[in-house]
A and B are shown apart, each in its own frame.
Chain A
Amino acid sequence: MQIDVTEPRTGASVLTLEGRLNMVSAPQLKTAITEAVEAGRTHVVVDLADVGFMDSSGLGVLIAGLKRTRQDGGDLRITGVTQQVATVLQLTNLDRVLHSYSDVGEALDGW
């Protein structure tokens, strides 16, 4: 999986993912979120528009990231949710916890 990291504004990171978010790639995302938070970018947007598949390992890392960012006064938002990802979020009721935004701009709005 490819992860592209940008800093659109002070204190915020956008992680743009491409590929499968599964057991193999989830640790990469965990590292990227941890690095962002440790660098003071506690408001993290994870762009999933090019992620066609996510499993429970990916869900686990997003929840861990949500807790980690909030611990430091920030938040984690997701955007670009594809069909399989949306279904997995709904089946596990995590669509109530991980709020999905239509695009990166909307996710960054209000931060």
Chain B
Amino acid sequence: MAGEYAVRGLAVPESLDLVQDLLVQVRSEHPDISETDLSMFETAIAEIHGNVVKHGRPVGKVVYAFSLSVHDDRLVGFLADTGEPATDLSEMPLVDEMSESGRGLWLARATLDELLYVRSGDRNTWKMTRLRSARAATH
């Protein structure tokens, strides 16, 4: 079963709860999606949205728009924001284990099958794809 979901607003810390609440709705309306797929996708969007909130400039004035499409074989999310250009995705080693920060984008990549970033005009766009686990055969 396919489905489309969207939320937008100012990229402030509290907006993360709105994005995660959207995932709660997806979870409720798509019980066929495996909990692993959904929770790993949620991990990725929380990290990328968190990155926009933390590093987006000017602080408190960056506007974001998140959309999620549920397909039979994948979950695809787009997060666009009006902040300044984001971090270079190619420079993301896993930080030292006692480090208190710096794991966000690394974790987003680890929980997705594909993470793409595009800077176009005055806008950042992140495309997140997680392939859905094969469902158990039914008899």
Residues of A near any B CB (own CB < 8 A):
20, 22-24, 53, 55-57, 59-61, 63-64, 66-67, 83-84, 87-88, 91-94, 96-97
Contact status B98-A67, CB under 8 Å: yes
For chain B, the count of residues having a C-beta within 8 Å of the partner chain is 28
Q: With contacts defined as CB atoms under 8 Å apart, how many contacts are there between chain A and chain B in the complex?
A: 76
**Complex Cα spacing A92 to B111, Å:** 11
CB-contact partner of A97 in B36, B53, B98, under 8 A: B98
Asked if A63 meets B94 with Cβ closer than 8 Å, knowing A56-B47, A83-B35, the reply is no
Within 8 A of A (CB), among B37-66: 39-40, 42-43, 46-47, 50, 53-54
* Chain B residue at smallest Cβ distance from A53: B42
**Are A88 and B43 touching (Cβ within 8 A)?**
yes
Which residues of B line the A interface, CB within 8 A?
A: 13-14, 16-17, 20, 35-36, 39-40, 42-43, 46-47, 50, 53-54, 94, 97-101, 103-104, 106-107, 110-111
- Asked whether A88 and B100 contact (CB < 8 A) given A23-B54, A53-B42, A57-B50, the answer is no
Inter-chain CA distance A53–B20, complex, in Å, is 10
Q: Are B17 and A20 in contact (CB under 8 A)?
A: yes
Residues of A within 8 A of B54 (CB): 23
Residues of A within 8 A of B35 (CB): 83
A55→B46 contact, CB < 8 A: yes
**Mostly helix, strand, loop or mixed at chain B's interface?**
helix
Docked pose: A93 CA to B99 CA in angstroms = 12
Q: Report Cα–Cα, A67/B53, bound state, in Å.
A: 26
Which residue of chain A is the closest to B104 with respect to CB atoms?
A56
Please name all residues of chain A whose beta carbon is closer than 8 Å to the beta carbon of B104 when the two chains form the complex. Answer: 55-56
Known A-B contacts A56-B50, A83-B36; the reply to A91 vs B101 at CB < 8 A is no
Instruction: Compute how far the CA of A55 lies from the CA of B110 in the bound complex, rounded to whole angstroms.
Output: 13
A39–B106 Cα distance when bound, in Å, is: 36
A22 touches B97 (CB 8 A): no
